[in-house]
Amino acid sequence: MSPPLTDARSAALYAEALKVLPGGVNSPVRAMRAIGRDPLFVERGEGAEIVDADGNRYIDYVCSWGPLIHGHAHPEVVAAISAAAARGTSFGAPTAGEVELAEEVAARFPSVEMVRMTSSGTEASMSALRLARAATGREKVLKFAGAYHGHVDGLLAEAGSGLATQGIPASPGVPAAATAATVIVPWNDPQALRAAVAEHGDRLAAIVAEPYPANMGVVLPREGFLALLREQADASGALLILDEVISGFRVARGGAQAREQIRPDLTIMGKVLGGGLPAAAYAGPRALMEQIAPAGDVYQAGTLSGNPLAVAAGLATLRLLDGDAYDRLEATTTALAAGLRDGAAAAGRTVEVVDVPGLLTVFFREGPVRDYADAAASDRDAHAAWCRALLAHGVYPPPSQFEAWFPSLAHDDAVVRRTLDAAAAAFQETAP
Ligand X SMILES: *Cc1c(COP(=O)(O)O)cnc(C)c1O
Distance separating alpha carbons of residues 181 and 139, to the nearest angstrom: 6
Query: Taking CB under 6 A as the criterion, which residues in 359-418 touch ligand X?
Result: none
Distance separating alpha carbons of residues 133 and 203, to the nearest angstrom: 10
Whether 299 is catalytic is no
Contacting residue, 81, 216, 246, 389, with ligand X by CB under 6 A: 246
Which residue number, 216 or 238, has a Cβ lying nearer to ligand X?
216
Which residue number, 104 or 210, has a Cβ lying nearer to ligand X?
210
Which residue number, 218 or 426, has a Cβ lying nearer to ligand X?
218
Alpha helices per DSSP H over 308-431:
308-319, 323-346, 372-376, 380-392, 413-429
Which residue number, 201 or 275, has a Cβ lying nearer to ligand X?
275
Distance separating alpha carbons of residues 215 and 282, to the nearest angstrom: 19
What is the x/- site pattern for ligand X, positions 274-293, by CB under 6 A?
A: ------x-------------
Which residue number, 127 or 430, has a Cβ lying nearer to ligand X?
127
Q: How far is the CB of 428 from ligand X (least distance, A)?
A: 32
How many residues of this chain bind ligand X (CB under 6 A)?
A: 14
Q: Which distant-in-sequence residues (6+ apart) come within 8 Å of 27 by Cβ?
A: none
Whether 271 is catalytic is yes
What is the x/- site pattern for ligand X, positions 92-131, by CB under 6 A?
A: ----------------------------xxx--x------
Which residue number, 150 or 254, has a Cβ lying nearer to ligand X?
150
Q: Which distant-in-sequence residues (6+ apart) come within 8 Å of 113 by Cβ?
A: 106, 284, 285, 286, 289
Q: How far is the CB of 125 from ligand X (least distance, A)?
A: 6
Q: What is the dihedral of CA 256, 259, 264, 268, to 10 degrees?
A: 20
**Contact (CB, 8 A) for 166 and 145:** no
Query: Taking CB under 6 A as the criterion, which residues in 8-27 touch ligand X?
Result: none
Identified catalytic residue from 52, 243, 371, 374? 243
Strands 239-243 and 49-52 turn out to be unpaired
Q: How far is the CB of 155 from ligand X (least distance, A)?
A: 9
Nearest residue to the partner ligand X, using Cβ: 121
**Contact (CB, 8 A) for 362 and 355:** no
Identified catalytic residue from 148, 212, 282, 326? 148
The three-state secondary structure class of 287 is helix
| Residue 153 DSSP label | G
Strands 239-243 and 280-284 turn out to be unpaired
Query: Per rule CB under 6 A, is residue 148 in the interface with ligand X?
Result: yes
Whether 326 is catalytic is no
Contacting residue, 70, 72, 149, 383, with ligand X by CB under 6 A: 149
Distance separating alpha carbons of residues 352 and 368, to the nearest angstrom: 7
Site residues for ligand X per CB under 6 A = 120-122, 125, 148-150, 210, 215, 243, 245-246, 270, 280
- Please list the active-site residues: 148, 243, 271
